[in-house]
Structure 1
Amino acid sequence: MSIEIKAVKRDVKGTGASRRLRRAGNVPGVIYGGEQPAVSIELDHKELFMQFRHEAFHASILSLVLDGKAESVLLRDYQLHPVRNTIQHIDFQRVSATEKIHVKVPFHFTNEEAAPGVKLGGGNISHIQTEADISCLAKDLPEFIEVDLGNLEVGHSIHLSEIKLPKGIEFVQLAHGDDTAVATILKPRGGEAAATEAEETPAAE
């Protein structure tokens, strides 16, 4: 999925200028990185927000067209209005085709209802992490990482090392020795625990 956004150079800077831009329906921003200098830009808020609301916009290589020239960039930061939920400012980073990037990518959990711990054990799935920091070349960046919970039992967890990754991708945490849990199936409240407690408690005479 290719996402294209259009921007123009922003010549006037400062708080007042940014406020006037927003009132006119535009978003101030910046593009930086690589061997080129940082460039202040502005984007049409309506067009930008239509792309921004999609999950893929936050974890994909974007094509930013600036003055007719396309550059490959990543969304790196943004500020939202606390009440109106409009984009107040946005930052993009240029990416290289030959250098690895670090990006947070969302998890998509599958086969939750089919997991033995849910279907047979009556457990509840807890998502410990909903995203992870990965390292890869720009061409290998996935929109999401699939986590299959189809074999998970009650009381068990699935860790980063158990997730199958596409070729060329690695978890940053795992590379540093942190094999953290991503999801677990919690034992049902009451249920088996209550039954076990009842069996172990002697009847009153």
Structure 2
Amino acid sequence: MSEVRIAVEQRTEFGKGAARRTRRAGKIPAVLYGHGSDPKHLSLPTIEFARAVRENGQNAVLTLDVEGGKSELALTKTITAHPIKNYIEHVDLLLVKRGEKVTVSVPVHLTGEAASGGLVSQELTEVEVEAEALHIPEQIELSIDGAEIGTQLHVSDIPLPKGVTLQGDPEAMVVTVSEASASMEEPEEEAEEAAEGEASEEA
């Protein structure tokens, strides 16, 4: 994960009205906290922040050039989006240090295809891991290539990158491969039978 540098401003106005004005100005209200320091109220440039998350994932690490102050290293902790309009309403940032380990949730991406006739169900879409702040994987891949019906993959089966350790329950189910149900196959069979019936009528 690359480190992204963003120029930010300190906020002196608070509340819903101030937040709306911040967003109208093309910025996102944010709070930086951690290491026992007082929370800092900031505004992030919307376009630059959205690009950082798009290119580096939900756990983007930012170098914040704070207006009138020193640079701070921060982990994107929580992004709150509007439920309908889908714009970013607020961001929580966690102050971190180089070399410091943090616990984050990382998406699990399935690769490959299960054996023919298998129905793949992904029970967990992300897992909690501990990693150095500047070496958080954007996602963790788990192969299901050739997985037979009856296969069950747990958190402990996920291959982790070097320096990344698992947190939480290692026996939690991530993927199951079951037999495709008859109800799923019936529509295809009925369609084939209907097509054959139409063909015979035309003949």
Per the TM superposition, whether the score is higher than 0.5 is yes
Q: Give SS of 2:13's match.
A: coil
Asked if residue 150 in structure 1 is aligned to residue 155 in structure 2, the reply is no
Q: Of 153, 172, 176, which aligns to 1:180?
A: 172
- Quote the residue 1:203 is aligned against: none
In the TM superposition, 1:116-131 aligns within 5 A as: 117=115, 121-131=116-126
Residues of 2 paired with 1:51 and 1:139: CA distance?
A: 14
Contact 1:3 1:57 in 2 (8 A): no
Contact 1:59 1:144 in 2 (8 A): no
Contact 2:107 2:126 in 1 (8 A): yes
| Structure 2 residue identity aligned to 1:187 | E
Does the C-alpha gap of structure 1 residues 100 and 51 become closer, same or farther in structure 2, counting only changes over 3 Å?
Answer: closer
Does the C-alpha gap of structure 1 residues 37 and 145 become closer, same or farther in structure 2, counting only changes over 3 Å?
Answer: same
Residues of 1 paired with 2:91 and 2:106: CA distance?
A: 19
Residues matched between the structures, number: 183
- Quote the residue 1:42 is aligned against: 43
Q: Which runs of 5+ in 2 are unaligned?
A: 187-203
Residues of 1 paired with 2:108 and 2:56: CA distance?
A: 12
Contact 1:104 1:133 in 2 (8 A): yes
Residues of 2 paired with 1:55 and 1:122: CA distance?
A: 36
Does the C-alpha gap of structure 1 residues 164 and 82 become closer, same or farther in structure 2, counting only changes over 3 Å?
Answer: closer
Does the C-alpha gap of structure 1 residues 43 and 140 become closer, same or farther in structure 2, counting only changes over 3 Å?
Answer: closer
Q: Which runs of 5+ in 1 are unaligned?
A: 195-205
In the TM superposition, 1:82-161 aligns within 5 A as: 82-112=83-113, 115=114, 117=115, 121-161=116-156
Contact 2:61 2:75 in 1 (8 A): yes
Does the C-alpha gap of structure 1 residues 55 and 181 become closer, same or farther in structure 2, counting only changes over 3 Å?
Answer: farther
Q: Which has the higher mean CA deviation after the structures are superposed, 133-142 or 152-161?
A: 133-142
In the TM superposition, 1:6-21 aligns within 5 A as: 6-21=7-22
Q: CA deviation at 1:96?
A: 2.5
RMSD over aligned Cα, in angstroms?
2.4
Q: Give SS of 2:57's match.
A: helix
TM-score, scaled relative to structure 2: 0.79
Q: CA deviation at 1:151?
A: 4.5
Deviation per residue, 1:46-83 (Å, 9 max, x gap): 3323334x163312322222227432211112222233
Q: Give SS of 1:173's match.
A: coil
